[in-house]
Amino acid sequence: MKLLGIDFGTKRMGIAVSDDEASFAFPVKTLEVSNSLFEDIEKIIEERQTQAVVLGDPGNDPGVAETRKKVLEFKDTLEKRGLTVFLQSEMMTSLNTDLFGTKKPIANKRGGEQKEKHDESAAALILQRYLDKKSLTKK
C-alpha cells in the first residue's frame, strides 16, 4: 500500500510518499497553507496513487495542546473527504532533519528553500517511522 506522509504546519505542510511496497519514504514537496490546500493534497494523492495518509502527531504534552487540536481537526477534515488517515508521532523529527542534512551551509544561502526541504524531510521521517513500525508488526 503506497502512503502519503504529512508534516502538519499552520503556514506550510511537508509532503512525502512511500514506494509501492511501503518500505521507504521520500520527501516530495512543501505546500503552502492556502484555500486550495485540500485540493492540492488530493491532487498529489491522485498523481502518486497513494491509498492512505500518515499525519504527524505532536503528542499529548501540555505545550503542544493547541497544535494537537489543529492536527486532529485537520485529520477529521481529511477523513470527511474520504481519506484514510493514520497518526504517527512526530517527536524529534525537526531535530533529526537538522542533524541529518537539511541545514548545511549551502542550503542556508538559498533563503526559504532550506525551510521547505526541512518540512518535506520531516514528512519523510514521520512516514518512515510509520512504515518501520508496520514492518515490525508484520514479523
What CATH number should be reported for the domain holding residue 124? 3.30.420.140
- Pick the more confident residue, 26 or 139: 26
Condensed to tens digits (0 to 9), the pLDDT of residues 83-133 reads: 999 999 998 665 455 444 544 443 444 444 555 578 999 999 999 999 999
- Pick the more confident residue, 31 or 63: 31
Domain limits for position 74: 3-138
Sign of dihedral through CA atoms 60, 64, 65, 69?
negative
Helix %, strand %, coil % of the chain (to 5): 50, 20, 30
Cell numbers 504527524 correspond to 56
**Domain total in the chain:** 1
Residue 43 pLDDT level (bands cut at 50, 70, 90): very high
Nearest CA to 126 out of 75, 86, 90 is that of 90
**Which run of H or E residues covers position 124?**
helix 112-138
pTM to 2 decimals?
0.83
Residue 135 predicted with pLDDT over 90: no
In the chain, what percentage of residues exceed pLDDT 90?
A: 70
User: Residue 10, exposed/middle/buried by CB under 10 A (0-12, 13-18, 19+)?
Assistant: exposed
Residue 63 pLDDT level (bands cut at 50, 70, 90): confident
